[in-house]
A and B are shown apart, each in its own frame.
Chain A
Amino acid sequence: MKRLFIILVSAIAAFTTPSFAGSSAAGNPVLPADEVASFANRVQRDLASRGANVAIVSRVGRDPSVLPEGINYTHVAFWVYAQITRADGSTGQGYRVYNLYQREGDLTQSDLVQDTPADFFAGAHSLDAGVIIPDPRLQRKLLAVIDSPTYAALHNANYSVLANPRTAQFQNCTEHTLDVVMAALYDTDDRAQIKANIAAYFVPQPVPINGLQRLLAPAASQALTTVDHGAQVGTATFGSIARFMGDNDLAAEIYRITPTALTRF
């Protein structure tokens, strides 16, 4: 029993090494609302100045130093240029954000939720966004999918942090984004076809997680399951989607934006 205890503690300790873990949620800073709103507006204006009707925008939800190597952004969503109606009935143009969020109270499930740019960055660890502006032709296709039943039909509420984008067993926000991109690109709502195309042409971000960690992770949370993976674990990330779109000439621009700088990847 003592040996088992030692093994478990060692394994869990390994599981919580900096490559994956770090401070708890309670340790995350909450950025001032005015700074968040100001940054959200900066991103909005930047996208609009580039004529982006649809963009893929990511945020930093955790301290990057505690994220696995190669993963800098923790949440991705579509930003859609839209007409906004305000409380007094007046209208203006702005971006509406189409998210897949983990469900509060049951992290193994997710919901599709629309919110605002300021809401999108409300949970950010730092004011830093990765942006992909798709090729205008792909933007038109994406708009058509987002405005159709296909957008919701491609949602799988069974959530996994490390969902395998090549299968439809689980899904996270990044995988749903990728599925929608593929649906638009290939003009299909056939999930099996989308997954076949992802398996053929998309390279997931490898995630360094060993067998013991994989074994123990579901004990911590079912949202950490990796049963949908083979020997190697890989998931869709902002970076892997950016590489896919860049390598296949599907993106007009890919860059990082902060309150003071704009850097092309």
Chain B
Amino acid sequence: MQTIKITIALATLALAAACAAPSAQHTAQSANHSAEAASHGAAAVASGAATVSAVPIIATGAALSVTGAAIESVGTTSVAVGSDVLEAGLGTCQTMQTATCVAADGPPRLD
């Protein structure tokens, strides 16, 4: 039975890697290059400032164009540690077995 347990454990490890967050081992290594942003978070909390560190560009018609010239190099540091966690709506998701009662729209195409 021990063999089974070991094999199952290996299978779990082998198959459960999809969509995995960076491993704990690497997270430890990442601590240094995330230190800048981490300290930013602490400072922001202390000062009462907003902790949001990145603002996605919003679609505003012609303002979408990007020249590419302004790209910021992060060097060996992480410009913004993954400290901004979206509200994931945990526990509120609904499950649905099938969608057979809903008719599909037309084929996908862009206007």
Contact = CB atoms under 8 A, between A and B. Distances in A.
A83 interface: yes
23 contacts: A8-B4, A12-B7, A30-B23, A33-B32, A44-B74, A45-B68, A48-B66, A53-B66, A61-B18, A99-B21, A114-B84, A116-B81, A122-B26, A122-B30, A143-B56, A144-B58, A152-B88, A155-B88, A167-B99, A193-B105, A196-B104, A219-B8, A224-B12
Given A37-B76, A87-B40, A172-B19, 19 more contacts: A9-B7, A37-B77, A45-B68, A45-B71, A82-B54, A100-B19, A114-B54, A116-B74, A119-B34, A157-B93, A161-B18, A166-B98, A195-B102, A196-B99, A217-B15, A219-B8, A220-B11, A220-B12, A228-B97
B68 A48 contact: yes
Given A113-B85, A118-B74, A224 B15 contact: yes
Nearest to A44: B71
B24 interface: yes
B108 A185 contact: yes
A94 B58 CA distance: 14
Nearest to A228: B97
Contacts of B10: 16, 21, 24
Interface of A: 5, 8-9, 12-13, 15-16, 20-26, 28, 30-31, 33-34, 37-38, 40-41, 44-45, 48-53, 61-62, 66, 74-75, 80-87, 92-94, 96, 98-102, 104, 107, 109-119, 122-123, 135-141, 143-144, 146-147, 151-153, 155-159, 161, 166-169, 172-174, 182, 185-186, 191-193, 195-197, 199-201, 217, 219-221, 223-224, 228, 244, 248-250
B20 A123 contact: yes
Given A74-B17, A111-B88, A249-B109, A30 B57 contact: no
Contacts of A123: 20-23, 26
A220 B91 CA distance: 24
Contacts of A158: 93, 95
Interface string B68-93: 10111111111111101111111101
B11 A157 contact: no
A169 B91 CA distance: 13
4 tightest Cβ-Cβ pairs between the two chains A and B:
A115-B82, A92-B72, A200-B104, A21-B14
B93 A196 contact: no
Given A74-B17, A86-B36, A157 B54 contact: no
Contacts, number: 319
Given A115-B82, A192-B99, A221-B12, A84 B39 contact: no
A167 B96 contact: yes
A169 B105 contact: no
B102 to A, nearest CB: 4
Given A16-B11, A86-B40, A101-B19, A196 B54 contact: no
